[in-house]
Amino acid sequence: MAAAFLVACGKKEEPVVAAPAESTPAAAAPAAPAGPILDDEKVLNIYNWPDYITENMVADFEKEFGIKVNYDTFENNEALHAKLVAGNSGYDIVVPTVGFSKKQLEAGLYQPLKKEQIPNLANLDPEFMTKLAAIDEGNRHYVPWGWGFTTVGINRQKVAAALGTDALPENSWELVFNPEYSRKLRSCGILFLDSPTEIMPAALHYIGKDAYSGNPDDLRAAGEMLAKIRPDVRLFSSTMIDDIAGGKGCAFIGWSGDINIAKDRVNEMGGKDEIVPLLPSTGGVFFADVMAIPADAKHVNNAHAFIDFFLRAENGAAMANEVNYPTGNKAAMPLIDEAIKSNQTIFLDDANMSRLIPSGGYPNEVSSVLNEVYNAFKRGR
């Protein structure tokens, strides 16, 4: 993992994952625990992004632990944030994005983990966890779920036809932010993720500003750029995989793994067109999503059991193999298919990794400008 983690957050780095247990004299060795500690009520409520878990993960956990999992999904960080701030969400595990969630952590919305109940923390990549500690000091609250980057994806054939050439700009953001390209792609459809904190970092980065600028003038300048390409955006999507696979557009701002899922889906359906996540020469926007236990969670032991289960090497590998998102699980690496490991849009090489725009979050002071600019863009005025 290269340095893509966080900007504008505390930079303190410290190792993370529980240190290996100190050797204990045999006579004093504590009795091995009888099994995972579970809550009396055999229920676990999880709130996660859509299309972000392997097919059997929940069923396998339910079967092994005798716990009923209620699994709900949200489409953006804003929706999760609203639930957490309202309180009594009822969720035992949620999956925020680290940069966005800094303010949640600071507001005490998450409780510290009981690391002794998560022995599989030892499977995590220490380098990844050290980066994460820049946001979550001492890795007290967050456990990695998946990471990737927000980028431009295309339907290669449709884009070539609309542009009249196979040549693509080196900086793929040009396809969606430069009117010279977007005008041509309008006929086959440009799709954007529907969230200010997904679109604005990319827009700010494209106009040469800090992707997480706290300067209202920068946000307004990004709004001016966006206004020029607004007529070319067909859809603001909360169901990007379906929309890509359903042929609703030819160029999209989406998440790397989701674009790869859409690609697989088109292939499975026998489609001839090639869906491709691109690696912009100036970098995609890095993100890491993490599991956290809300402060008011009711099934805290069950949550720890699930987190430990998720961190098994085979489950980490399945996330990459089936869902196209790496998880930060180092022990999983030998179990990941070679085709996935060598896919440059899933496991980036050092050069591409170092180009990624670090994750971040906007200061509260610019929330209203951020939303105003984004909503004006969406409305088209």
List interacting residues with ligand SPD (CB under 6 A).
49-52, 97, 150, 198, 255, 258, 287, 289
Q: Kindly state the smallest distance separating residue 113's Cβ from ligand SPD, in Å.
A: 21
Distance CA(135)–CA(130), nearest Å, equals 10
**Spatial separation of the C-alpha atoms in residues 120 and 309, rounded to whole Å:** 8
Nearest distance from residue 226's CB to ligand SPD, in Å?
18
Least distance (Å) from ligand SPD to the CB of residue 31?
A: 41
* Residues constituting the chain: 381
For residues 315 and 309, give the distance between their C-alpha atoms in angstroms, rounded to a whole number: 8
Locate all alpha helices (DSSP H) within 337-366, ordered by sequence: 338-341, 350-355
Number of Cβ atoms within 10 Å of the Cβ of 61: 20
| Shortest Å, Cβ 42 to ligand SPD | 28
Sign of CA dihedral 221, 227, 229, 234: positive
Give residue for tokens 């909360």.
238
Q: How far is the CB of 258 from ligand SPD (least distance, A)?
A: 5
Cα torsion angle, 186, 187, 190, 191, sign:
positive
**294 touches 89 (CB < 8 A):** yes
Nearer residue to ligand SPD within complex by CB, 51 or 232 = 51
Shortest Å, Cβ 348 to ligand SPD = 16
Least separation in angstroms between residue 287's CB and ligand SPD is 4
Cα 1 from Cα 100, distance rounded (Å) = 20
Q: How far is the CB of 325 from ligand SPD (least distance, A)?
A: 7
CB of 198 to ligand SPD, least distance (A): 6
- Residue 150 or 172 with smaller CB distance to ligand SPD: 150
- Smaller CB distance to ligand SPD: residue 49 or 177? 49
Task: Output 243 or 258, the one with its CB closest to ligand SPD.
Answer: 258
Q: Locate tokens 């869906």: which residue? A: 275
Based on CB atoms, which residue is closest to ligand SPD, 91 or 255? 255
CA gap 268, 49 in Å, rounded: 23
Q: Alpha helix locations (H) across 335-379?
A: 338-341, 350-355, 367-379
Crossing angle of the two packed helices 77-86 and 98-106, in degrees rounded to 10:
10
Tell me whether residue 168 or residue 211 sits nearer to ligand SPD (CB atom): 211
| CB-nearer residue toward ligand SPD: 18 or 347 | 347
For residues 255 and 306, which CB has a smaller minimum distance to ligand SPD in the complex?
A: 255
Q: What's the rounded Cα separation, in Å, for the pair 308 and 315? A: 10
| Cα→Cα distances 343→67, 232, 314, 325, Å | 36, 31, 19, 11
Three-class SS state of 199: helix
Nearer to ligand SPD, 76 or 157 (CB): 76
